[in-house]
Copies of this chain bind each other. A is one copy, B any other.
């Protein structure tokens, strides 16, 4: 009954521009209407209505949400004046259409002398696989037809650099994807569930996670953050569950400033201990530095828009991946590490992935956090810099980079994928395979990581990461050969080869990035090598000239192949995902529109780093395919 009322109220607000205000009012209505839940703990703040939110925060909130909204639905160009929809409708009559001598579709024809035939969009949509939706504007409706769902970047980008933006990775939200099980509490990187429900680390996904946060950090304005405890200037009161829960400020020799030392009895239950009031309604990413002595946990309580339900996310010093009690408690293991570490958690992602465990449907969890209410520490140890911010992109980038360094196979130089991969028509690829795309994305990630942090372990990992490019894919590497002539780096080391286009181009981008890093940071590729090359090489343990020459050759060979073979992916109306049709003599695998857009995005990058006009030409042609402009027929 209440729900119906709410839905009814919501339906009153048909226009987008009132939708946000409506959502706000509804949330508050709900808050006002429902009984106060017993489980809501006392650390809750007093904000109970819109009027309790400071106007500047409201304004900020509105801007942020509008911006998110616009990203999802970019503003359409509206005509100067609404079309005349008051014109007399033409007289029409039903008309049977026979489709391809096969089946009928009910159409209309005008009964005037023009006898115009109209076909229902429902047929067109299904038959041609196109898209359309009625959009409601101020005073009139318009039906918006799209040939494809892929949003194509309109301009070729500004010159590409190895430490700049990577394609449109700033728009990727890797951890939000359904095929991401969750972000590991221990590693701080996502686990995939695409080809195995249990969740497994997938190098490519981790690289994309790191790269997307790097790119977001490049384009987004500085994160907004609120520090709730730094033990130096901000020293709030911690609320004790009992008298044995103690906090004190101590100097830490490593951190070199004051930190909070905390102790709670071993016997107190999870979710109790020392509570710090947060009450943040704007920011959603929690971060802190922590050093546990023995076991312990950090629990975060959040209010949500899901009937104002309160959830608690527990980060516990064990090896659990993720659990949910199917009521209101979500659990992440953060490992038993007893040294200082920085933990950054996107609470919305952590919440949603947790709730998602209970849903049997494929439906995306959309629960939002309305407030980060408080943080509860249990166990013994030290904590510092408790912050809630709008983002922690560089923490996430670094977590990915460090995982990549730590998980490189020292023998092959690759990032082994410990999951069977099945490509239709091919024999399954047993676990332990390498991907040229994985190698390439790791090169792109670590080139940027080295550029930012100058950490030598990144450089060593990069150098070793070239090794799989030099080995055939049936011998543990990623190299394939097209008709004995063109070298190729395989996204999947199938036998026979599959020649997946997007994975190959990603591998070339990685090679380009590393090659450019060596040129930019170590003067490689210039006619006169820097005088200190040998010294530098010895100090780094990396033979810089040799590695550079290897990277350059791998890149150049790959570019030759790409330029030669690109036309084989051109279907005249769509593009192909791979060359399985040529290799296996089966039907071509048409790239769905988002892969098509990836192809475009990659071509735009290629046209920026290559003088060959083929990339711009193919970009323009393939862009045309997204709006229904096929290649010519004779």
Q: Which of A466-497 contact B (CB under 8 A)?
A: 483-485
A92→B93 CA distance, assembly (Å): 10
Q: Which residues of chain B are near A132, meaning CB under 8 Å? A: 97, 117
Asked if residues A77 and B96 are in contact (CB atoms below 8 Å), the reply is no
Q: Given A87-B94, A95-B143, A98-B145, 13 other A-B contacts at CB below 8 A? A: A76-B101, A85-B93, A90-B108, A92-B108, A96-B142, A97-B144, A99-B145, A100-B147, A118-B121, A119-B119, A128-B628, A566-B585, A574-B630
For residue A368, CB closer than 8 A to chain B, the reply is no
* Alpha-carbon separation in the docked complex, A595 to B120 (Å): 31
Closest residue of chain B to A146 (Cβ to Cβ) is B100
A134 engages B119 (CB within 8 Å): no
Residues of B within 8 A of A122 (CB): 116-117
Complex contact A590–B634 (CB within 8 A): yes
- Residue-wise interface mask of A (104-125) relative to B, using a CB-CB cutoff of 8 A (1 in contact, 0 not): 1101110000011111111010
On whether the beta carbons of A588 and B572 are closer than 8 Å, the reply is yes
Q: Which of B77, B134, B576 is within 8 Å of A117, CB to CB?
A: B134
- A595 to B124: give the CA distance in the assembly, Å: 26
Contact A567 B581 (CB under 8 A): yes
Enumerate chain B residues within 8 angstroms of A25, measured Cβ to Cβ.
Answer: none
Q: Does A127 contact B (CB under 8 A)?
A: yes
Mask: chain A, 591-634; 1 = CB below 8 Å from B; 0 = not: 11001000000000000000000100000010000011011111
Q: In the complex, which residues of chain B have a beta carbon less than 8 angstroms from the beta carbon of A144?
A: 97-98, 101
List A residues at the B interface (Cβ < 8 Å): 76-77, 79, 83-85, 87, 89-102, 104-105, 107-109, 115-122, 124, 127-128, 132, 134, 140-147, 483-485, 563, 566-568, 570-574, 576-577, 581-582, 585-592, 595, 614, 621, 627-628, 630-634
A590 touches B89 (CB 8 A): no
How far is A585 from B618 in the complex, measured between Cα atoms in Å? 9
The CA of A92 and the CA of B95, in the complex, are separated in Å by: 14
Contacts of A574 in B (CB 8 A): 572-573, 630, 633
B residues in contact with A146, CB < 8 Å: 100-101
A177 CB → nearest B CB, Å: 16
Q: How far is the CA of A585 from the CA of B564 in the complex (A)?
A: 8
- Of the candidates B85, B568, B621, B634, the one whose C-beta lies within 8 Å of that of A592 is B634
Which residues of chain B have C-beta atoms less than 8 A from A140's C-beta?
Answer: 96
Q: In the complex, are the beta carbons of A121 and B119 less than 8 A apart?
A: yes
User: What are the residues of chain B within 8 A of A484 when measuring CB–CB?
Assistant: 483-485
The reply to whether A631 and B97 contact each other, CB–CB distance below 8 Å, is no
Given A108-B89, A566-B585, A572-B588, CB of A118 within 8 Å of CB of B120 = yes
Copies in the complex: 2
The smallest beta-carbon distance between A195 and chain B, in angstroms, is: 14
Give A570 to B101 CA distance when docked, in angstroms.
24
Known: A89-B108, A116-B122, A120-B117. Is A631-B572 also a contact (CB below 8 A)?
no
Interface centre among A97, A145, A589, A591 (most CB of B within 10 A): A145
The 8 Å CB contact of A634, one of B98, B116, B589, B630, is B589
A105 / chain B contacts, CB cutoff of 8 Å: 145
Partner of A85, one of B87, B95, B127: B95
Contacts of A627 in B (CB 8 A): 100, 102
A485 to chain B: which residues have CB within 8 Å?
Answer: 483-484
- Distance between Cα atoms of A121 and B102 in the complex (Å): 18
CB distance from A425 to the nearest CB of B (A): 12
In the complex, chain B residues whose CB is within 8 Å of the CB of A117 = 120-122, 132, 134, 143
- Selected from B96, B98, B590, the residue in CB contact (under 8 A) with A633 is B590
Query: Which of A105, A483, A485 has the most chain B CB atoms inside 10 A of its CB?
Result: A483
Contact A77 B89 (CB under 8 A): no
Q: List 9 A-B contacts (CB under 8 A).
A: A85-B93, A85-B94, A89-B93, A95-B141, A107-B118, A117-B132, A587-B621, A590-B634, A592-B633
A582 vs B108: C-alpha distance when bound (angstroms) = 45
On whether the beta carbons of B572 and A590 are closer than 8 Å, the reply is yes
Task: Please give me the residue from chain B that is nearest to A95 by CB atom.
Answer: B143
Q: Which residue of B lies closest to A76 (CB)?
A: B101
Min CB–CB distance A624 → chain B (angstroms): 9
Q: Which residues on B sit within 8 Å (CB–CB) of A143?
A: 95-98, 107, 109, 117
Bound complex: CA of A634 vs CA of B576, how far in Å?
A: 10
On chain B, the residues within 8 Å of A128 by CB distance are: 128, 628
Known contacts A108-B108, A142-B96, A574-B572; A587/B121 CB under 8 A? no
A289 to chain B, nearest CB (A): 44
Interfacial chain B residues near A563, Cβ < 8 Å: 585
